[in-house]
Amino acid sequence: MSTLQKLVLASGSPRRIELLQQAGIEPDRVLPADVDETPQRAEHPRSLAKRLSKDKAEKALDSLKSEHDYGPAFILAADTVVAVGRRILPKAETIDDAINCLGLLSGRSHRVYSGICLITPGGKLRQRLVETRVRFKRLPREEIDAYVASGEWRGKAGGYAVQGLAGSFVVKLVGSYTNVVGLPLYESVALLSGEGFKAHQKWHAARS
């Protein structure tokens, strides 16, 4: 396969960009895909994560097709869903959202699902679903208020960012940590490599 491989990340999330960079992968283009993230009636959290990642990848592909100067590329999309049982928690946009999410997560276990979807230059679509179990300590109201004041919760699924202050809430985590941050690295890199993307080609240069 040509060395001029292109990777498009169908997400504007700084966390996903940073995680790919951590693995030595620099997207050639960041193309956020705006899709309706409203769960369907009785939709399971894992089904929602898979559906939205696929929708994002396909929307990015449609956008690229309209650009004559952009050739075939690997398109990687992801969506992360936080749930308590079958209850899907929102991406917190207001203080009330954050307080409600943290109150629900306090002293309980929850699950973080990430759907990842890859469309290859040849048009093949591949998907994976990654699940991580997380347990929070009991959060007194003053600690919830202090975290809300930090602003770290804004736009985060479940109202928290595990890579920040909320890391101190975690009593137990079973599964992929990077999944909780926003992009399961092992599965994403394995998916890319399995379809011929040279994910490790820049590692040699990184040593010098």
Which of 79, 96, 97, 145 does the annotation list as catalytic?
79
Q: What is the 3-state secondary structure (H, E, C) of the chain?
A: CCCCCCEEECCCCHHHHHHHHHCCCCCCEECCCCCCCCCCCCCCHHHHHHHHHHHHHHHHHHHHHCCCCCCCCEEEEEEEEEEECCEECCECCCHHHHHHHHHHHCCCEEEEEEEEEEECCCCCEEEEEEEEEEEECCCCHHHHHHHHHHCCCCCCECCCCCCCHHHHHEEEEECCHHHHHCCCHHHHHHHHHHCCCCCCCCHHHHHC
In the residue annotation, 79 being an active-site residue is answered as yes
Distance of CA 105 to the CA centre of its chain: 19
Residues taking part in catalysis: 79
